[in-house]
Structure 1
Amino acid sequence: MTDARESVLAYAPEADLDVVDKMAATYRLVLSNRDAALVSASDPEELKTVRENFLKKKLGLGESDDALDQAITEVMTTMKDGKPNPRLAVYYLLAEKFGKLDVFK
């Protein structure tokens, strides 16, 4: 859990650690695969997966694809520091952006 916390705290220093822990438990299998634990900002198919599987299915968002894609772009821009983009941090920032952290409480 420490790595999960650190990956989120790097981008959201005020993150709710209980939510981070719950997210880490929810995505435990995905996070255990090094390749799947990262989000490639340059891979349109991967960004589509984030939109469809996380934003729409998990968070239940009904905004247009364009609006959801814009939010993903904003989060990825925030994280643009030359380091890999940890999936858990991307998910946390997106859930926070849409006011959906309570999904993981």
Structure 2
Amino acid sequence: MMDYLADVKIYDAGADEATVNKIVKHLGIALRDRDSAMVSTSDPNELARVKTNWIGKKLGVTGPDADKAMEETIAAMKGDRTKSRVTFYYLVAKHLEKLETL
């Protein structure tokens, strides 16, 4: 099992363990499979699902703000070939200032 908190702390040294655990709990069984535990930022269908299901439904953000949050997160993680879904979701929520609503 991956150390999700350690991975998030690569990008946000002050990451809160409870917040990371909420994202892990939200993702649940999806994290058991390596493929679904990662975000493929080169797949437009994958990004559309993240935008609809995480940013739109869970965080309540749509439109240009959702697009900008994804673009910023992709840019921040560009050096990481295996983008953890937990870390990606955390950074999107942080960018949108929605961590406290999780």
- 1:25-104 to 2 correspondences below 5 Å: 25-61=25-61, 63-64=62-63, 66-104=64-102
Gaps of 5+ in 1: none
Give the AA of the match of 1:79: M
Superposed CA RMSD: 1.6
- Give 1:70 deviation, angstroms: 2.4
C-alpha separation in 1, matches of 2:32 and 2:101: 22
Letter in 1 for 2:70: I
TM-score by length of 1: 0.87
Percent of aligned pairs with the same amino acid: 36
Q: CA deviation at 1:98?
A: 0.9
My pick for the range that moved more, 49-58 or 21-30, is 21-30
**What is the Cα deviation at residue 4 of structure 1?**
1.4
Q: Distance in 1 between matches of 2:49 and 2:2?
A: 26
Alpha-carbon distance change, 21 to 82 in structure 1, aligned in 2, over 3 angstroms: closer
Unaligned runs of 5+ in 2: none
Give the structure 2 partner of residue 23 of structure 1: 23
Q: Confirm or deny that 1:3 pairs with 2:23.
A: no
Moved over 6 A (4+): none
Q: Helix, strand or coil for the counterpart of 1:68?
A: helix
Q: Match of 2:78, SS?
A: coil
